[in-house]
Structure 1
Amino acid sequence: MHWTFSLNELPAVAEEILKAMGNNRVIALSGPMGAGKTTLVHAICDQLGIKAAVGSPTFSIINEYPASDGPVYHIDCYRLRDEAEAIDAGVEDCLFSGHWCFVEWPEKIPHLFPDNTARLTIVAGEPGQRTIDLQVMASAPAR
């Protein structure tokens, strides 16, 4: 899936992303610094009804937001040295929790993701425009 949008269209794009996810709950967000990864996660969390302040987990590594159907995890791997450090920080537990999990800088932990992780790339285009490409993997049927 592909979207090109302006900031005022972001809520609608966030809603479409959630619909496209099906039963998948992990999104790996790639893009250069300043592309809007955290802003996009904030918009998605708004669509999920998160009332807590949503911000960058750059220093905490993992932010956990309470939601009616379980926690929502927002992970930033930018400062991690390697996958072992990510495991020690609890990233793997979040990824396999079955809850929503949004991961910025997934390139730092490529081997830790579930098979059905959605891959999202966001880039800045014309002033005030962003482009998103989303690849959603087929999820296993619910048991």
Structure 2
Amino acid sequence: MDTEASIISKSPEETINFAKELVRPCQGGEVFALIGELGSGKTQLVKGAALALGFKGEVTSPTFSLVHCYKGEKFDIFHIDLYRVENVPSILSHYLEEILYAEAICFVEWPQKIEKLLPSWTQYWEITIIAQNERKIKRIR
């Protein structure tokens, strides 16, 4: 996908469909950093990716558990949510590094909290709320 890629999503379903296209070329090992305020649709994007990768269950935000792992047909999908984390202790850093460098597909919400741990190939996507059901989704690096 183009570095300057951006779309306007007019519904949660359009965000899910965008995510399905986003992960279609994935080969394993991709990391997506998702930037956006609460309620912007980051988890909807992960939901679409998980569906596209063959996960059949429910996708929810791991706000309190920090990490969810979804079993896809070809790859595991890790969903990391660091919203409630103030400081990342070294034990958690080691655990996150193992996830980030695995042959899975990884999505990180609030990535600025672990920026130094993120691989150089991380794709940064920003989701901006335009209106109640309208979002701008843009690759920023």
Q: Report the TM-score when normalising by structure 1.
A: 0.84
Give me the identity figure in percent.
33
Tell me, what secondary structure is at the counterpart of 1:109? Answer: helix
RMSD: 2.0
Structure 2 unmatched runs, 5+: none
Measured in 2, the distance between the counterparts of 1:32 and 1:42 equals: 17
Structure 1 unmatched runs, 5+: 137-143
Q: Which residue of 2 aligns with 1:25?
A: 30
Contact 1:24 1:118 in 2 (8 A): no
Tell me, what secondary structure is at the counterpart of 1:34? Answer: coil
Contact 1:63 1:75 in 2 (8 A): yes
| Alignment coverage as a number of residue pairs | 135
Deviation at 1:24, TM superposition (A): 5.7
The one-letter code sitting in structure 2 at the alignment partner of 1:127 is: Q
Q: Does residue 4 in structure 1 map to residue 21 in structure 2?
A: no
Deviation at 1:66, TM superposition (A): 1.0
Q: Does residue 132 in structure 1 map to residue 104 in structure 2?
A: no
Tell me, what secondary structure is at the counterpart of 1:80? Answer: coil
For the structure 1 residues 105 and 65, does the alpha-carbon distance in structure 2 shift closer, same or farther, using more than 3 Å as the test? same
Q: Which runs of 4+ in 1 moved over 6 A?
A: none
Q: Does residue 62 in structure 1 map to residue 74 in structure 2?
A: no
Measured in 1, the distance between the counterparts of 2:131 and 2:113 equals: 28
Deviation at 1:18, TM superposition (A): 1.8
Aligned match for 2:78, one of 56, 62, 73:
73
Q: Report the TM-score when normalising by structure 2.
A: 0.85
